[in-house]
Structure 1
Amino acid sequence: MSKVTMYFKVTCPYCARAEKLLKERGVTDIEKIGIDTNREARAEMIERSGGRTTVPQIFINGTHVGGCDDIHALDAEGKLVPMLTA
């Protein structure tokens, strides 16, 4: 299984929705990085994601795949599971 990293906020419903989808697709270990109170993590997320400031921001094997809508779109296209199993 691929390494999945997700920047998130505790109160974010989109983060919970993205995590639920990832778990449904077999991801058992998500490196979750909270940005609620961690300015350094927020700055890192913005830099790594090409300037995106919303959460979640998800990376699979170090590749930025976007946020909640983006991974749901990948899943609908049948591209998420192959990325996760690569």
Structure 2
Amino acid sequence: MAHITIYSSDYCPFCHRAKALLRSRGVSEWEEIVVDGRSDLRAAMAERAGRSSVPQIFIAGQHIGGCDDLHALDARGGLLPLLR
């Protein structure tokens, strides 16, 4: 399975929704970087993703985007191939 990195916040409903979608597609492990109270991690995320909102999701090094982007990718049938 592809390596997944999720920059997230413990209090973000969109983060929880994105992780629920991944679980529903059979993903049980990912690297999670919680940016709560960590301006250094949020800055690193923003530099890497070009966005400062969470979640920011990377699959196999490819920036997917946020929760809505992940759901749109899944709706187009593009998520499962990336996960393999």
Under TM normalisation by the shorter chain, which class is it?
A: over 0.9
Partner residue, 1:6: 6
Partner residue, 1:38: 38
Matched position secondary structure for 2:19: helix
Partner residue, 1:82: 81
Count of aligned residue pairs for this structure pair: 84
Structure 2 residue identity aligned to 1:18: A
Structure 1 length as normaliser, TM-score? Answer: 0.94
Partner residue, 1:23: 23
**In the aligned structure 2, how far is the partner of 1:47 from the partner of 1:24?**
29
Structure 2 length as normaliser, TM-score? Answer: 0.97
- Segments of 5+ residues of structure 2 without an aligned counterpart are none
- Between the aligned residues of both structures, percent identity stands at 54
Partner residue, 1:62: 61
**In the aligned structure 2, how far is the partner of 1:59 from the partner of 1:28?**
15
Cα RMSD after superposing both structures? 0.6
**In the aligned structure 1, how far is the partner of 2:83 from the partner of 2:44?**
23
Structure 2 residue identity aligned to 1:31: E
Matched position secondary structure for 1:81: helix
